[in-house]
Structure 1
Amino acid sequence: MNWKLNLKKTPKTEKAKKSKTREWVDAVVFAVVAATIIRGLLFSAYAIPSGSMEGTELTGDYLFVSKISYGPRIANTPLAVPFTEPVMYGIKTYSGAIQLPYFRLPGLGHIRNQDIVVFNKPDEAGPGYNIPVDERTTLIKRCQAIPGDVLTIINGQVYINGKAARNAPKQQTSYTVQITGLPINPDIMREQNISIRQQLGPDSYEMIMPSSAADIIKGYSNVKSITPVIAPAGSYDPEIFPHNEKFKWNVDNYGPIRLPKKGWTTPLNDSTLTLYRRAIEVYENNKVAINGNDILINGKKAGSYTFKMDYYWMMGDNRHDSLDSRFWGYVPEDHVIGKAMLTFFSTDSTQSFFNRIRWNRVLRPIE
């Protein structure tokens, strides 16, 4: 018997090489998927478009916002163009054909008093807007009160559960400034972050500035007087939430008001319904009606209501130039995006090209 051994190696079938075009397509797809996961679950970049957080955060600041801090929120509208604004050039970049219910993955912690938080604008909720939660305008404010807290503002000072809250180091408000006729040096105003809100008379101005700047300029020879602008207690501002003259509140004297907490039950009457109706009806999707002396929720008489979500109170550090919870009320938990952590870049559009970058704010932690 003859045995013949075939010791030759069977040639391997070579895989077809990818074309350059295919390699580029794969790389782009991978980058988009990876960036989408990072942006959706870990952190995102946002720009500060307005001055409501001056001088803590400035117009032109670019921020990293941690989503893992409070738990990543799963998108309500999965059918959206990645890395775009909800509306660009008048065209929606998302479709509301599929809308998922609110769901948040576990995070590293919870919102605390004084955290600087990025969230969707609750004022855009309701059938009048018909905008999904995650496609509403993005805002940044400081959290003054968390669920269960009782918030009061007395002469501009925030109190939480009866105790004065810590004021941000660079918090700003309005002052009436009387000068002798000689203007304040513009360089000093820029250095001290002082801006003119309006001119009240020939030598009288309302200026917005931090208290540290007020302490400095009041000693100048051309400054006759500087007085904080405070709306008096008991004066009713119709723009202030809950927009009811029974609550004679304004930006500087407000409350007391309790922040709803998940599982908290409140009795329902004229006053509590005024304060909490928007949360019950708009944010928690109930139908509220009044039949004589009875309050009906989803067609049934109700003497109380138990909240399904947590709510927060957000205010800008620029107290007299911020549209915040004083105007549109509570921020529901499903509107929260994340915690502002780092200013990674900053530009000043009022400066020349070579002086536009604020180098002292690059890679600056937020507090």
Structure 2
Amino acid sequence: MEPRWQTILKEYAEALIIAFILAFIIRSFVVQAFKIPSGSMLQTLQIGDHLLVNKFIYGIRIPFTDIVLARFSDPQFKDIIVFEFPEDPSKDFIKRVIGTPGDVLEMRNKVLYRNGERLNEPYVQHVQNDFSPVRDNFGPITVPADKYFVMGDNRDESYDSRFWGYVDRDKIEGKAMILYWSWEGFSNIRWNRIGKMVE
């Protein structure tokens, strides 16, 4: 018969192993926490916002690979998504989907047109009055199959598809869902943002 301390130690070890396995499964397939490090999505997302990303909504892929086991739905226009940054896959980016496969996009002097229609984008912020050829004017372009055109809501200060191109469907990790924490430091917790759905 084992001493009681060994039995207790074994039970704790088993519980810890199961907890790690469950946490790995949940993080890999269901939900992942994400922190907003920059202002490219202002005012929708603030620096210091912490949100949960639904990794299950678009499908299941094998962790640490691009192998997709099953697709459930595709990202939709205006979804806020987390994806592997095409120029550095070790980094995750968060942007809003502006163009889905087959969409025709054009921007003229900061005004965006999708499939010939001027978009009403109340979530967009502009902080500069000047016009840039790449940043504020492009197209028309047609989004290829299995690709997505994404942009930050803080249009004048976002490094997005206008500069580095499309996001591959298989590089999209999930959809931003809900804010679970928001602060600018210990002295300034944004209580009014906690629990807010990301839209």
TM-score computed with the length of structure 1 as normaliser: 0.51
- Counterpart residue number, 1:200: none
- Counterpart residue number, 1:342: 178
Amino acid paired to 1:105? A
**Per-residue CA shift, 1:218-254, capped at 9, x if unaligned?**
xxxxxxxxxx3333xxxxxxxxxxxxxxxxx411111
CA RMSD of aligned residues (A): 1.9
- Counterpart residue number, 2:86: 122
**Per-residue CA shift, 1:245-295, capped at 9, x if unaligned?**
xxxx4111111111111xxxxxxxxxxxxxxxxxxxxxxxxxxxxxxxxxx
Work out which of the residue numbers 17, 20, 39 in structure 2 matches 1:51. Answer: 39
**Does structure 1 residue 326 correspond to structure 2 residue 162?**
yes
Q: What SS class does the counterpart of residue 357 from structure 1 fall into?
A: coil
Q: What SS class does the counterpart of residue 126 from structure 2 fall into?
A: strand
- TM superposition shift of 1:320: 0.8
1:219-234 aligned at under 5 Å gives the runs 228-231=129-132
- Counterpart residue number, 1:364: 196
**Per-residue CA shift, 1:20-75, capped at 9, x if unaligned?**
22111111101000111111111110000000000000000000000111113222
1:184-223 aligned at under 5 Å gives the runs none
Q: What SS class does the counterpart of residue 105 from structure 1 fall into?
A: strand
**Does structure 1 residue 142 correspond to structure 2 residue 96?**
yes
Q: What SS class does the counterpart of residue 87 from structure 2 fall into?
A: helix
- Counterpart residue number, 2:148: 312
Amino acid paired to 1:357? I
Contact conserved, 2:66 with 2:170, CA < 8 A, in 1?
A: no
Contact conserved, 1:44 with 1:66, CA < 8 A, in 2?
A: yes
Q: What SS class does the counterpart of residue 52 from structure 2 fall into?
A: strand
How many residue pairs get matched? 198
Q: Give structure 1 stretches of 5+ with no counterpart.
A: 1-13, 77-99, 125-132, 176-227, 232-248, 262-309
- TM superposition shift of 1:166: 3.1
- TM superposition shift of 1:362: 0.4
**Per-residue CA shift, 1:87-132, capped at 9, x if unaligned?**
xxxxxxxxxxxxx55224232x2211110000010112xxxxxxxx
1:1-367 aligned at under 5 Å gives the runs 19-76=7-64, 100=65, 102-107=67-72, 109-124=73-88, 133=89, 136-167=90-121, 169-175=122-128, 228-231=129-132, 249-261=133-145, 310-349=146-185, 353-354=186-187, 356-367=188-199
Amino acid paired to 2:21? V
Dislocated runs of 4+, deviation >2 Å: 14-18, 104-107, 228-231
